[in-house]
Every structure is written in structure tokens, then in C-alpha cells.
Amino acid sequence: MMQTTEPRPIFSRSTMVGWIDLLGYGDQIADAEFDPDNAEAEKPIRRLRQFHRIVREHSSRSFRTLTINDGAAAYRDQHKTSPKHAYDFIRQCWRLFRAVQKEDDIGARMVIATGKRAAGSRAGIEQTQNAFSKILDRYADGEITKEQALDK
């Protein structure tokens, strides 16, 4: 008799990441003693705000980014069904890089990498969704007012 085994749970996801950061920003802010309130920080802070704006303008539901000071990471899980997703991601990374290069006097560098990441837990997301649903249910049932629902 042939034994059947349960399918193994998937603990990893194939992911692409693009990391971009501003060249020379560390030296610029160091000249201001790493103090954004220092008068010498005006130019690097203006440069940083411009970088944040460019990243924000290129971010979307399909090109999510996380900006950390003078760097930003874009990431996307890849689907085995179509290489188009990888191509789209690389194209969006290239557009972001070109936009920063065009507007920044010094420039940036970008690295794109692919690999596996551990699948995260959805427990926190599900807990928040459940709490939100309970508030909506209580409002719909007339147990709480709109103000009370918004205050929760």
C-alpha cells in the first residue's frame, strides 16, 4: 500500500528587493555634526526631503517602499506563474533610480537582489482586523455611536 504524506507547509517566499541610497549623504550630515538643526545641515536635509518625495512618488500598491533616512528599500514577493512580475519590479526600480539620478546633484546607488525570505505571521494583522470588525458590528447593531466607534 502506498503511503501519502501531507504537503509540507511553505515557510519561505521568493522575494525581490531593491535598495537605493544617496551617495555622500553621511559625509554631508557629518559636516553638520549629525545635527539637523545645525545651519550646515540645511543642504543635506533639503536633499533628504527631495529623496523622500521622489521615493513617495514612485511608490504604489505594486511597488511598496520603506524609507529609512537616506535609503529606501522596495520589495515584492515573486509569483511562480509569471516572470512578468520580476520584469515589472526591475523596471520600477530602474525608474526610481533614474528619477533620483536626474534630480540629485551627487547621485545614488542601487542594488537589486532576489532570494527567499521567511514567511511572516499574520497574527497581528488578523487580530487588528477582528477588533475592527467587532467595532463595526457594535456600531451596526446600535450598541455604540459613530463617535464612540471612531474613538475606539
Between CA 31 and CA 70 the distance in angstroms is: 16
Is the entire prediction scored with pTM above 0.85?
no
Q: Long-range contacts: 53-57, Cβ < 8 Å, 24+?
A: 54/96, 54/99, 54/100, 54/103, 55/20, 55/96, 57/99
Task: Return the closest-CA partner of residue 120 out of 31, 22, 24, 15.
Answer: 15
Between CA 23 and CA 71 the distance in angstroms is: 10
Between CA 104 and CA 51 the distance in angstroms is: 8
pLDDT at 68 (0 to 100): 95
- Strands 71-77 and 108-118 come out as unpaired
Chunked mean pLDDT (size 10), the chain, 152 residues: 62 88 97 94 96 97 94 87 84 98 97 86 69 83 86 71
What cell was used for 101? 539620478
Q: Measured on CA atoms in the order 48, 53, 54, 55, is the torsion positive or negative? A: positive
